[in-house]
């Protein structure tokens, strides 16, 4: 029970295929109390149905494109739960055309949109949580990233650039949060068939290549990402901050 007595906020749940759901299940198995956020009111019924599987869990609407929305949502969570011990940021978005066309055609608006939701929102959430003094000392924040930040991957395009910004932000946030005894890290997950992944061109062939080339010759699961997250949320990981940890069956460690 490495997360016993810890309250973890999971941001970015969409359905049972979401990485956020895999993390939530593992965190719960390890003893955490779960709180969720999701993007918009119209999804309430589906989210309520899903989280009913986790006893005591409650979900709040939070559109991370809007600071006021983040602030109101975190305020409500603080009122209901007091201080929390961890936040999972499992949120990203890019315009479909920016994942379909050549990268060179990325529009100014598309670049800003992907960067805002997929990278800047982590800074906003971290800052607002700190300002509201709702994180316990030793709290751990985790974001999700992908190898497309390090190498160009056909079709990942502007999302690769947003993930590079997210990873750099983690290193800078680690310095600021470290002053308060808090940690922040990213998990670079191997490819997983989720709703967001469906937007990426030829995603099926990316899964096939991982199976062929990764040292462990298989794709990662959301439960496996959840286990890594449970470790990073726990005090067992208290020496780790500012890191990007690859959970990809070793794919990123091989060249050819």
Catalytic residue positions, numbered: 146, 156
**Does residue 12 touch ligand NAP according to CB under 6 A?**
yes
**Exactly one of 10, 35, 144, 232 binds ligand NAP (CB under 6 A); which one?**
144
Spell out the alpha helix ranges (H) of 42-178.
44-51, 67-81, 96-100, 108-115, 121-131, 157-178
Cβ nearer to ligand NAP, comparing 92 with 177: 92
Q: Give residue for tokens 């994180």.
A: 135
Nearer to ligand NAP, 93 or 213 (CB): 93
124 vs 138, beta carbon nearer ligand NAP:
124
| Cβ–Cβ < 8 Å for 202, 209 | no
Q: Does 63 bind ligand NAP (CB under 6 A)?
A: yes
The rounded distance, in Å, linking the Cα atoms of 189 and 144 is 7
The DSSP element (H or E) to which 34 belongs, if any, is: strand 33-38
- Measure the CA–CA gap between 40 and 37, rounded to whole angstroms: 9
- Nearest alpha carbon to residue 183 among 249, 232, 216: 232
- Minimum CB separation of residue 137 from ligand NAP in Å reads 27
Q: Residues 81 to 140: which contact ligand NAP by CB under 6 A?
A: 90-93, 117
Restricted to residues 20-49, the positions that interact with ligand NAP (CB under 6 A) are: 20, 38-39, 43
CA distance 188 to 226: 12
- Least separation in angstroms between CB 68 and ligand NAP: 13
Binding status of residue 214 toward ligand NAP by CB under 6 A: no
Chain residues that interact with ligand NAP, rule: CB under 6 A: 12-14, 18-20, 38-39, 43, 62-65, 90-93, 117, 144-146, 189, 191-192, 194-197
């Amino acid at each position: 029970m490495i997360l016993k007595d810890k309250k973890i906020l999971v941001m970015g749940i969409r359905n049972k295929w979401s990485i956020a759901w895999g993390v939530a299940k593992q965190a719960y198995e390890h003893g955490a109390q779960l709180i969720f956020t999701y993007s918009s009111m119209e999804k309430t019924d589906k989210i309520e149905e899903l989280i009913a599987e986790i006893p005591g869990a409650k979900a709040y609407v939070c559109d991370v494109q809007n600071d006021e929305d983040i602030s109101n949502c975190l305020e409500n969570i603080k009122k209901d739960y007091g201080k929390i011990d961890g936040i999972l940021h499992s949120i990203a978005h890019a315009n479909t055309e920016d994942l379909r066309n050549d990268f060179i055609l990325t529009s100014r608006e598309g670049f800003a949109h992907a960067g805002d939701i997929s990278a800047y929102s982590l800074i906003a959430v971290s800052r607002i949580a700190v300002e509201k003094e709702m994180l316990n000392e030793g709290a751990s924040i985790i974001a999700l990233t992908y190898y497309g930040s390090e190498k160009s991957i056909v079709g990942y395009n502007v999302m690769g650039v947003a993930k590079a910004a997210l990873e750099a932000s983690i290193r800078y946030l680690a310095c600021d949060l470290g002053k308060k005894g808090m940690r922040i890290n990213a998990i670079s997950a191997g490819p997983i068939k989720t709703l967001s992944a469906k937007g990426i061109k030829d995603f099926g062939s990316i899964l096939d290549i991982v199976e062929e080339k990764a040292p462990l010759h298989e794709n990662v699961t959301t439960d496996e990402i959840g286990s890594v997250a449970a470790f990073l949320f726990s005090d067992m990981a208290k020496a780790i901050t500012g890191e990007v940890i690859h959970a990809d069956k070793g794919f990123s460690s091989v060249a050819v």
